Structure 1
Amino acid sequence: MLKKFAVPMVAVIGAAGMCVPQAIADEAVAAKECSVQVVSGSVKWGIKHSWRNYIQGNIAHGKWETSGAVTEGTSDKKNKDFQFKFEVDPAHTKIAVENGKITTSEIRTKDSSITFTGHHDALYSQVKSPIIKTSGDTVSAGSGYLGYYVPGKKMAEYTKDDRTDANKKQGEGIFSKGKVETASLSGDTLTLKGSNLRYTPQPGTKDGKIEGVDVLFMGIYNGNYLPEVDDVDVELKVKNNCGNISGTANPAADHGTPGSLSKPWAIVLGILGGFAALAGLFHVFMNSGLLQNLPFFNR
């Protein structure tokens, strides 16, 4: 009797449990079938027009120098439409697409730097390898940074002697946010344009204190003082099997790991699997005759 009962019960539970792993496997295959591989590309960005004008103006009497995978545009450096052109790093650039819409992206650029100097070399600020990210229709832009910060000193009080290892600050950070104006595919060229970018200071930059990437601009910019950041243009050569791409969409609340089943589907399939198992067990008990001996079955 026990053997007759146990064998079908194990079979039922096993069959019910197969639906969730199979669904996960099917979704993993589907996820792998759609991909956008970046082959090459460029990021065109003037960083910040007001900063460039300040460096070249009659107060800072400064300049900038480029190094690495970056070139300068041909327009007047004082114009708002002036842009630097950075080479994209395909190995560290990611584009996520769902239903023909870009949900998220992270565009990394190859090693490069723009070194701004002024005030008789008392000012030293280095923008390194810009980073562009999108999530839905929001674009965020930033870079690596290297600068010098002396707590308590105002911008005009710095001297060249303050450029010491003890005062050196470097890292990576996002310092502006805006809207994705364009996201489209034409042939093998994917175009992204971010506009209306505004400077977003780090939480700790206030009351004369400077935190993180804000050292690039000596902590002077904020939502109330010259917040405008230049538009950014991204052009990528891609290998794409996701079909047509046009526009953006908000990423799902919970994607899980790449290729994994989304949480709502996992819950639904789990419940269905549970019901299937219960129904199967009921059938097994009925066939075994065990339930027929219970009082309520004899009424």
Structure 2
Amino acid sequence: MTTFAQAVLSGTAQGAIYALLALGFVIIYKATHVISFAQPALMVIGGLFSYHFSAVMGWPFWPSLFVAILLGAGLGMLIERLALRQMVGKSVFTMAVITIGVDVVLRVLANRYIGADSRVMRYPGGGERYEFLGLAISHRQLTILAVTLITVVSLALFFRYAKAGLAMRATALSQETALAQGVRVGAIFALAWAIAGGLAAIAGTFIATGSGGSEQDTWIIALKALPAIIIGGLDSLQGAVIGGLAVGIVEQLTAVYQSTYLPFLGTNFSLVAPYALMLVVLLIRPYGLFGTREVERV
């Protein structure tokens, strides 16, 4: 039982990172109805921003993270303005392909900076661990959970009470109606990309503090957010959080128990487990656990 609880705890911490990335996907989708495949590159570059200020320039961890969030948000706005603003009105497929191109370009630039060695960012808590009820959690994992909780609550308050948040909600419901009510939809698109870039920078920073740091294939981690948003629902913020946590927990449980109970599945099946969970959810609820069911009249 202790092993199970420990796996759930570790999976929750990892799932918090997926949740941050999934929130970025969902916020852009709700505002623009486009799935942004540029999130992996934004995550990697956000982590490199933090690494550069911390490891190269000698800044403390938290100021480095704060500046990385601002730069990640700025990069997101720049991408929207230069690559996507001119394509408003084009097909969703065209817009999605453009985000793939943006992702490739940004990752090439990031890989030039990374080089052959990984870029590991020093975390101020070191390897400090806390134990309670037979379970252990590192200072880093605890911080990830706390930052994710603060971020999720802040976003919930923003969308509920802030004028810009209400405008984003209106745009998500109907861009035409929002325009008629005087909402600057173009500015809302930019804001959505800015928030997604900031969230990606937070996730990328904590990934850079892990044992592997930022490597040339680190972007693959962001792909775990795709099953998270499908599980939770493409247009659901709470679904993104729950989906991200579910993916992290299932991945960790599979890593712990699969070799014992299902050895015929081979090694590293935990990498596939999130996608298997996604398929199961889609068979039961095609729009995800919290997604809006669309009904079209023919």
> TM-score, normalization: structure 2?
0.23
Q: Which one has the largest radius of gyration? A: 1
Which is bigger in relative contact order (C-alpha 8 A, separation at least 6)? Answer: 2
